């Protein structure tokens, strides 16, 4: 008894022909797409967001230990805000010098007050003496004028008495009395004139003394002003150098912005003089992505190439990414890396109804599109590599 199969093992000719046509059409379409459709060739590298001018460094002026750490990475600070304080021998020396400068300034102010009082008293006494001589001169001048008048009257009376004596109308005794009056008036006049001369000489000496005192006062004031200016300058320089009463060196934020890096781990850490202890990204500056490209992949990277910026803080599968272009590529590498920069778009990420902007210090991955080439070339690339290895 023979068995008849439910289905024929060989497919119908039409089905076989149709299937082969579909497969051939699919293969031809795939080949055509691989030739027509270009796929991007890209380089991926990590990046960090910084300000366009780079973070302003805060440099330790000298070596010392951190006494107080007032900020952490990511903190927002205002210009002049305290970042940390350093304790060092140099800071202690400046503190002692600051105390001495302040004491000298206070002492200079006291000396200036005493000097002004002393000079004012001496000048006042000299002015009073000069005023006394002026008064005496005025009185003596009036007295000399009166004495001259008396002497003239006595001389006129003597002349009249002499004429009377010659006529016999006057006795010799009366003539002698007239002569004595004239002589007394002349002596009194001469004495007053001599006194006036002495007073004038004393007044001239007093005037010279007053002029000398005023010149001396001006010189002493100038010398004191110069010493005060030197002291004030020293005090200003010490304060500008960060000298403080407690012997600590204060390091402050150079601008308002965000602390993007901090090289100090904790209080008590040692800091080397001249080293950057922090970087502050100043607010208002444009942001850029600083991309670290390995040396092996930097050969074809150039400016104006497209870049996709994917942020670690904003997973791109959920929140998207930023598109930009390469703005600059470093001409030389450092530590096996070449730096490139790309502008960060100002568009914030919309998350849960809120806007979240990109901030300095954020990291992520940058995809730099080098070129676009047909997909079929990717298929032949391994074969070309093998050919080059075996026969190259």
The predicted-structure confidence for 151-181, as pLDDT tens digits, reads as follows: 899 889 889 888 888 888 888 888 888 889 8
Q: What is the pLDDT of residue 392?
A: 54
Lowest pLDDT segment from 6-15, 36-45, 48-57, 211-220 = 6-15
As a whole number of angstroms, the distance between CA 342 and CA 339 comes to 10
Q: Which of 329, 333, 325, 336 is nearest to 367 (CA)?
A: 325
- Band (390; pLDDT cuts 50, 70, 90): low
Q: What is the pLDDT of residue 324?
A: 94
* Residue 213 in this model has a pLDDT that exceeds 80: yes
Determine phi and psi for 168, rounding to 5 degrees: 85, 5
CB within 8 A of 68, min separation 6: which ones? Answer: 82, 84, 85, 248, 267
Average pLDDT over residues 86-94: 77
> Given the structure tokens 């699919």, which residue do they identify?
26
> Given the structure tokens 């470093």, which residue do they identify?
330
Task: Dig out the tokens for 19 from the structure.
Answer: 């299937």
Bigger pLDDT: 24 vs 217: 217
Per residue in 219-237, pLDDT (tens digit) is 888 888 888 888 888 777 7
* Residue 142 in this model has a pLDDT that exceeds 70: yes
* Residue 7 in this model has a pLDDT that exceeds 80: no
Q: What is the pLDDT of residue 245?
A: 64
Bigger pLDDT: 295 vs 5: 295
Q: Please check whether residue 73 is in contact with residue 259, taking contact to mean a CB–CB distance below 8 angstroms.
A: yes
Cβ neighbours of 136 (radius 10 Å): 17
Tell me the three-class secondary structure of the chain, residue by residue: CCCCCCCCCCCCHHHHHHHHHHHHHHHHHHHHHHHHCEEEEEEEEEEEEEECCCCEEEECCCCEEEEEECCCCCCEECCCCEEEEEECHHHHHHHHHHHHHHHHHHHHHHHHHHHHHHHHHHHHHHHHHHHHHHHHHHHHHHHHHHHHHHHHHHHHHHHHHHHHHHHCCCCHHHHHHHHHHHHHHHHHHHHHHHHHHHHHHHHHHHHHHHHHHHHHHHHHHHHHHHHHHHHHHHHHHHHHCCCCCCCEEEEECCCCEEEEEECCCCCCCEECCCCEEEEEEECCCCEEEEEEEEHHHCCCCCCCCEEEEEECCCCHHHHCCEEEEEEEECCCCECCEEEEEEECCCCCEEECCEEECCCCCCEEEEEEEEEEEEHHHHHHHHHHHHHHHHHC
* Residue 350 in this model has a pLDDT that exceeds 80: yes
Highest average pLDDT, of 117-126, 171-180, 339-348, comes from: 339-348
Q: What is the pLDDT of residue 276?
A: 86
Cβ neighbours of 116 (radius 10 Å): 14
> Given the structure tokens 């059409």, which residue do they identify?
25
* 375-391 and 13-36 helices, crossing angle to 10°: 80
Determine phi and psi for 92, rounding to 5 degrees: -65, -40
As a whole number of angstroms, the distance between CA 56 and CA 282 comes to 7
As a whole number of angstroms, the distance between CA 68 and CA 82 comes to 10
Highest average pLDDT, of 112-116, 200-204, 371-375, comes from: 200-204
* Residue 291 in this model has a pLDDT that exceeds 90: yes
> Given the structure tokens 């002003």, which residue do they identify?
225
* Residue 10 in this model has a pLDDT that exceeds 70: no
Judged by phi (left if over 0) then psi (alpha if -120 to 50, else beta), residue 336 lies in left
Q: Please check whether residue 51 is in contact with residue 255, taking contact to mean a CB–CB distance below 8 angstroms.
A: no
Average pLDDT, the chain: 82
Q: Which domains does the chain have, with CATH numbers?
A: 58-89+249-271 (2.40.50.100), 91-240 (1.10.287)
Cβ neighbours of 271 (radius 10 Å): 23
- Band (314; pLDDT cuts 50, 70, 90): very high
Query: What percent of the chain shows pLDDT beyond 70?
Result: 84
Q: What is the pLDDT of residue 39?
A: 61
Cβ neighbours of 57 (radius 10 Å): 14
- Band (201; pLDDT cuts 50, 70, 90): very high
């Amino acid at each position: 008894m023979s068995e008849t199969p439910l289905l024929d093992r060989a497919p119908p000719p039409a089905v076989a022909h149709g299937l082969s046509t579909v497969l051939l059409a699919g293969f031809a379409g795939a080949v055509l797409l691989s030739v027509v459709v270009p796929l991007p060739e890209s380089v991926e590298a990590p990046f960090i967001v910084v300000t366009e001018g780079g973070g302003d460094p805060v440099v330790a002026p000298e070596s010392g230990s951190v006494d107080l750490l007032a900020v952490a990475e990511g903190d927002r600070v205002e210009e002049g805000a305290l970042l940390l304080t350093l304790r060092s021998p140099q800071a202690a020396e400046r503190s002692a010098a600051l105390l001495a400068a302040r004491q000298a300034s206070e002492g200079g102010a006291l000396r200036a007050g005493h000097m002004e009082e002393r000079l004012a008293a001496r000048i006042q006494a000299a002015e009073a003496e000069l005023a006394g001589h002026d008064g005496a001169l005025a009185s003596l001048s009036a007295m000399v004028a009166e004495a001259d008048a008396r002497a003239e009257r006595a001389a006129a009376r003597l002349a009249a008495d002499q004429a009377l004596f010659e006529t016999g109308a006057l006795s010799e005794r009366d003539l002698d009395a007239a002569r004595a009056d004239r002589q007394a008036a002349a002596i009194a006049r001469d004495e007053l004139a001599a006194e006036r001369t002495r007073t004038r000489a004393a007044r001239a000496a007093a005037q010279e003394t007053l002029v000398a005192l005023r010149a001396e006062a001006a010189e002493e004031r100038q010398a004191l002003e110069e010493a005060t200016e030197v002291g004030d300058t020293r005090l200003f320089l010490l304060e500008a150098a960060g000298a403080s009463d407690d012997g600590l060196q204060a390091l402050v934020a150079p601008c308002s912005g965000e602390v993007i890096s901090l090289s100090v781990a904790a209080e008590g850490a040692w800091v080397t003089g001249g080293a950057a202890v922090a970087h502050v990204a100043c607010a208002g500056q444009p942001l850029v992505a600083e991309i670290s490209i390995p040396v092996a992949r930097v050969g074809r990277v150039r400016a104006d190439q497209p870049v996709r910026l994917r942020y670690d803080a904003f997973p791109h599968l959920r929140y998207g990414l930023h598109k930009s272009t390469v703005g600059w590529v470093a001409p030389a590498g450092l530590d096996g890396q070449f730096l490139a920069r790309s502008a960060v778009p100002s568009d914030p990420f919309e998350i849960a109804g809120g806007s979240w902007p990109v901030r300095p210090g954020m990291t992520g991955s940058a995809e730099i599109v080098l070129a676009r080439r047909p997909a079929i070339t990717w298929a032949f690339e391994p074969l070309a590599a093998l050919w080059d290895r075996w026969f190259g």
